[in-house]
Amino acid sequence: MMCSAKLNEMNINLFMAGEVHGSAFLGSTCIRALRLLSQNHHYLEMEDTVLSKCWVTASRILSALGRGSVHSDENVWNACTQGLRISLSFDEINAPILDERMYEGTTNAITQLDSALRKYGNSDHTDLIRASLIAETAGIVLASSTSASGKT
């Protein structure tokens, strides 16, 4: 929950970029671990209320990372975009299927990535590096949200 709170601080004028940066990477790593845990047989033994809180927080973190991808501060948008990639990308063919409790956060992230792509990749002042990273991240997030994701 601390990661979610720190990521939401980027919406105010005075925030610590280092805290947002660290929260983006810690939060995204926790999401990745939670998604991997859901494939483990010990997952079913965990208390349901604890898991529910974890999934809700994971969804909030995804939403915040999506909002951060539109941020004007280069370090913030880069950390948030990379955080989305860490949260939802997998090198293996058996990537976990996106849990239903993360649909809202993933949808918000995709919407924000679309806004970021229009903001930084659609004018005379296009930032090619930023636009290409955002487009690639949008592809990863979209691929993780498809119904066939994770099925072999």
Q: What is the domain partition of the chain in residue ranges?
A: 2-144
- pLDDT at residue 15, as a whole number: 56
- pLDDT at residue 14, as a whole number: 47
- pLDDT at residue 150, as a whole number: 46
Burial group, residue 47, by CB count within 10 angstroms (0-12, 13-18, 19+): exposed
| pTM as predicted | 0.80
- pLDDT at residue 109, as a whole number: 93
- pLDDT at residue 74, as a whole number: 84
Task: Report whether 84 contacts 65 (CB < 8 A).
Answer: yes
Distance CA 139, CA 109 (A): 12
- pLDDT at residue 17, as a whole number: 67
- pLDDT at residue 7, as a whole number: 65
The residue ranges of the chain whose pLDDT is under 70 are 1-17, 41-47, 91-94, 147-152
